[in-house]
Amino acid sequence: MHGQEHFIPRQSADGWKTSNPSLLAMIPLKESLEMFAEHSMVALRERSVRLTKYFEKGVKAIKNISSITPTDPKRRGCQISVRVSGSASDLEEELIGCGVVPDARDPDILRFAPVPMYTTFTDIARAAQVLDRLVAN
């Protein structure tokens, strides 16, 4: 652009690149970074381990499903994957209808990710209860 009166965009995908993110894209980024600044990664990881252990305990009590995630927190993140009998996608739809949002991997895997920044222990208990009720039917 230096030395030119008018902007002449490139005709390829490079023409869509910008040198700086747009202001509208920066607002949510700024807010999320402020949230991370309020919590140390150590504290978030400790909470993640507690949340997933709590969910694992709930999953263990449910018949017809089993966790396939390593129980050692050093070998996983905050995601817990469970094997279900029947269609994971069908169960995913039912769970979403009840306000529990997993991720299905057909044919029989559901993934749950209790995010330590905003998932509560009440959320975890409710997710396990809803999962238990739906699997029992």
Residue 13 lies in a domain: no
Residue 71 lies in a domain: yes
Range of the domain at 102: 38-136
The residue count for the chain: 137
Domain count, the chain: 1
| CB 91 within 8 Å of CB 104 | yes
Give the C-alpha separation, 114 to 79, whole Å.
Answer: 7
Alpha-carbon dihedral of residues 131, 62, 91, 118, nearest 10 degrees?
Answer: 40
Residue 65 lies in a domain: yes
Residue 4 lies in a domain: no
Residue 105 lies in a domain: yes
Backbone angles phi, psi at 71, to 5 degrees: -80, -20
Decide: pTM greater than 0.85: no
- The per-residue pLDDT for range 63-109, each reduced to its tens digit, is 999 999 999 999 999 999 999 999 999 999 999 999 999 999 999 99
